[in-house]
Structure 1
């Protein structure tokens, strides 16, 4: 079972990292500033394709954002596509410019 860990540096840059038995198999690169979380990139190792693991990362990020009253700036093409496809699910957290 894959697990997600939020790992940030002192400047609040880092990501939600996906691990399988201590091996990093995916990541969602983010930064947090003020009350905004910017998502830059989401990637899962090709060996794990088709397991909906990008969605696991998305769900973890969304839970974190809601728990911390943040807004999301979805620069990542995957996250932006999900927000656009399912706007009702994300309207409360999507910071549109």
Structure 2
């Protein structure tokens, strides 16, 4: 499996991707604007579910947010659930006002 890759357009839209060879097996879609990274959607191919891939995407996204001093608006149900379940891990990047 390839490491997590990021694709970002000039307009601030982008995604983190996981691939197995040429096959996309996971993605996390986001938009960056005004110091916020709004995460909309996380998806892993059904045959790869249960292997921690969504967590890898989450870790890559949080690392990117920290490196670029961004606050994360977790509109994606998976990301929001993880932020609520482990607030101590994500307190520094979590924009709670925007997500509620």
Aligned to 1:60: 60
Name the stretch that deviates more: 84-93 or 13-22: 13-22
Give 1:22 shift. 2.1
C-alpha distance in 1 between matches for 2:63 and 2:8: 16
Distance 1:12 1:18 in 2: 20
- 1:45-84 deviation digits (Å, cap 9, x = unpaired): 0010111100000000000000111100000000000000
Any unmatched runs of 5+ in structure 1? none
Partners of 2:85 and 2:2 lie apart in 1 by: 26
Q: TM-score, normalised by structure 2?
A: 0.93
- Written as runs of structure 1 = structure 2, the 5 A alignment for 1:37-48 is 37-48=37-48
Count of aligned residue pairs for this structure pair: 97
Structure 2 unaligned spans of 5+? none
The residue correspondences of 1:69-88 to structure 2 (distance < 5 A) are 69-88=69-88
Question: Offset of 1:30 from its aligned partner?
Answer: 0.2
Cα deviation, residue 9, structure 1? 1.8
**2:36 matched to 1:36?**
yes
Give the alignment's Cα RMSD to 1 decimal.
0.9
Structure 1 runs (4+) greater than 3 angstroms displaced: none
49-58 or 2-11, larger mean C-alpha shift: 2-11
TM-score normalised over the length of structure 1 = 0.95
- 8 Å Cα contact 1:3-1:20 kept in structure 2: no
